[in-house]
Amino acid sequence: MKKLVLTLLTTCLVTVFSLAGCGNNEAGNSSASPSASPSASAVESASQGAASESPSASDDKPFKMRISAWFLTEGEGTNDAFKKAVEDKFKEKYPNGSIQWDNLTGEKYFDKLKAELASSSAADIIYSQQVPSLGKAGYLMDLSGEPWVSDMVDATKIVEAYDGKIYGAATTIQSFGFYYNKKIFADLGITPPKTFNELLAAGEKLNAAKITPITVGFKDQWTLDYFFGGYAQLAQALTSPTFEADVFNGTQQLDGPETISAIDKFTQLAQKNMFNKSALSIDWPQTQIEFASGKAAMIYQGPWMAQVTEDTFTSKGFDPFEVGFFPLSDENGKVIMGVGPDHSVSINAKTEHPQEAKDLLSLILSPELIAVHAGDGGMSGMKSANIEAKLPAMKELLDVLKNSPTTYQWGSYYPPSVKTGILNLVTKIIGGGKAGDGELDEVKKNYEKDKSLIILP
pLDDT digits (tens, 9 = 90+) for 335-380: 999 988 889 999 999 999 999 999 999 999 999 999 898 876 678 8
**What is the pLDDT, as a whole number, of residue 433?**
86
**What is the pLDDT, as a whole number, of residue 286?**
97
> Considering the entire predicted model, what is its pTM?
0.75
Beta strands in 70-149 (DSSP E): 97-103, 125-128
Which residue in 201, 211, 200, 173 sits closest to 270, CA to CA?
200
Alpha-carbon span 447 to 385, nearest angstrom: 39
**Kind plus residue range of the DSSP H or E element containing 354:** helix 354-364
Instruction: Summarize pLDDT for 8-64 with one digit per residue, the tens.
Output: 344 443 334 333 333 344 544 444 455 443 333 333 333 333 333 344 455 679 999
**What is the pLDDT, as a whole number, of residue 376?**
66
Provide CB contacts within 8 A for 89, sequence distance 6+: 363, 366, 368, 369
Which residues belong to CATH 3.40.190.10 in the chain? 29-173+343-389, 177-338+410-453
**What is the pLDDT, as a whole number, of residue 43?**
30
Alpha-carbon span 193 to 329, nearest angstrom: 8
Structural class in CATH, domain 177-338+410-453: alpha beta
CA distances from 245 to 150, 155, 228, 241, 445 (A): 27, 17, 20, 9, 17
**What is the pLDDT, as a whole number, of residue 383?**
86
Low-confidence ranges of the chain (pLDDT < 70): 1-59, 376-377, 437, 457
Which residue in 375, 352, 290, 367 sits closest to 82, CA to CA?
375
Give the bridge partners for 424, in sequence order: none
Contact 377, 390 (CB under 8 A): no
- Name the DSSP class of 137: T
Superfamily of domain 29-173+343-389: Periplasmic binding protein-like II (3.40.190.10)
- Strand, helix or coil at 346? strand
Q: How many CA atoms lie within 13 A of 434 on its CB side?
A: 2
Give the bridge partners for 64, in sequence order: 98
